[in-house]
Amino acid sequence: MAKGNQPKLIDVANAAGVSTAAASLALRGLPGVSEATRQRVQKVAEELHYELNITARNLRIRATRTIGVYAPENTSSIAYYMSFIASLAQHAARAGYATLIIPVEADMRMVTAQVDGLVIIDATIGDANLDHLLACSKPLVSVEEVPSVFKNQPDAVIAFRHETAMTKLLNHLYEQGARNFAAICPPAETAWGSQLQAATNAFEARQDVSFQRLPVPFAVSPEDVLAHENKLHEDLDAIVCTSDGSLLEVLGLLRDQGRKIGEDILLASYIDNATHSIVRPAITALDHDVEESAEAALQLLLKMFQGEDDGIRPRSTPQVYEEREPRLIIRASTAGKLKPRH
């Protein structure tokens, strides 16, 4: 550091070997760091003669008490996204913040000026809005990894182990006797779509199975599923609906064909929602714990709001990376072994 320059928070963080967020928590006596880290950061701050700029911090944080949330185009009718946004808004309200749902048609520069921080869900390749959101100076949390094609990255990421979870589901179906698989698959434009594709490819390569992939758009419609009606041939003995919103259409198509779900064909959904436990038979699915991930995203933002503006934007790697694994819930649609068709 040049002589006469006032040390910044990043200087303290670098010297102490921690992130700026951790350094800020340590210097303010807030929870989130160990006592050893707190003492090390405070010692470095004293040696560098660093002083907290409380005035600058107060001018920056909680300026609007609003959090922006951005989801891919055409997802307003998809249960997963609506549940996440509703849960985020609920937790934000308890913390004293409003939630602004950002339309894809909005002026992103105007929107980012109106919020204190941002949460993005399922960053999608080809979404030009993300270039601006990822480059803005506001704290930003991404639920799911941001594809590497984007130059800038969020401050924090909550990522699901989709490849592991999908493999667990496929292995379960295999153990129940399934050998001829089909999957309703969205394009690999998101991190989770790419991971699901990798999981099905690896599964097909390892096992004595056939695997049919039925592509649908990211935001699937009933018409998209019906377009594959003739491809759901009688030899299939397991179908996985990886796109939220495709399950009920597939359920109807199979019943029209006279298939007995849970007996001569297994049916599972990659994303659980409320309808899967009440239809008959109830549908095996993976629980992504939407409410918990929404609360975690909010808590990461709130921690950033407590920090000082360190001027480090845009960034090339996230400072915080949390991993979660969806939980497999086995229900009647796959609970029993496959029976031979008569």
Confidence (pLDDT) at 58: 47
Residues 6+ apart with CB under 8 A from 227: none
- Looking at the DSSP assignment, which residues form a beta bridge with residue 117? 67
Residues 6+ apart with CB under 8 A from 257: 232, 234
| pLDDT higher than threshold 90 for residue 68 | yes
CB 122 within 8 Å of CB 190: yes
At 2 the pLDDT is 43
Distance of alpha carbon 138 from alpha carbon 120, whole angstroms: 12
pLDDT at 226 over 90: no
Lowest-confidence region among 2-6, 53-57, 251-255 = 53-57
Residues 6+ apart with CB under 8 A from 205: none
pLDDT, tens only, 243-287: 888 898 999 999 999 999 999 999 999 999 999 999 999 999 999
pTM for this prediction? 0.79
Higher pLDDT among residues 197 and 64, named by residue: 197
Measured CA to CA, the distance from residue 147 to residue 153 in angstroms comes to 9
Residue 55 has pLDDT above 50, yes or no: no
Predicted confidence at residue 3, as pLDDT, reads: 45
Mean pLDDT for the stretch of residues 211-225: 87
pLDDT at 77 over 90: no
Confidence of residue 129 (pLDDT cuts 50, 70, 90): very high
Region for 96 from its dihedrals, namely left if φ exceeds 0, alpha if ψ lies in -120 to 50, beta otherwise:
left
Q: What is the mean pLDDT of residues 3-31?
A: 81
The pLDDT confidence band at residue 197, using thresholds 50, 70 and 90, is very high
Q: What is the dihedral of CA 242, 246, 250, 251, to 10 degrees?
A: 100
Nearest to 202 by CA among 240, 242, 170: 170
Output the CA angle 206-147-241, nearest 5 degrees: 50
Alpha carbons 156 and 159: distance in angstroms, whole number: 10
Strand ranges across the sheet with 238-241: 210-215, 180-185, 238-241, 266-269, 284-287, 327-329
Q: Give the pLDDT of residue 204.
A: 93
**pLDDT tier, 49 (very low <50, low <70, confident <90, very high otherwise):** confident
Residue in 121, 120, 141 with CA at minimum distance from that of residue 271: 121
Residue reference for tokens 């199975």: 209
Of 33-47, 165-179, 281-295, the least confident: 33-47
Helix (H, G, I), strand (E, B) or coil at 185: strand
Joined together, the tokens standing for residue 90 give 């609920």
In Å, what is the CA distance from 241 to each residue of 26, 31, 301?
A: 46, 41, 32
284: Cβ–Cβ under 8 A, 6 or more apart, which residues?
169, 172, 266, 267, 268, 269, 328, 329, 330, 331, 333, 334, 335
Condensed to tens digits (0 to 9), the pLDDT of residues 131-156 reads 999 999 899 999 999 999 999 999 99
Structure-token pair, residue 10: 């990043």
Comparing 309 with 179, the larger pLDDT belongs to 179
Query: Could you give all domains of the chain from N- to C-terminal order, each with its CATH number?
Result: 9-52 (no CATH), 63-161+290-326 (3.40.50.2300), 162-288+328-335 (3.40.50.2300)
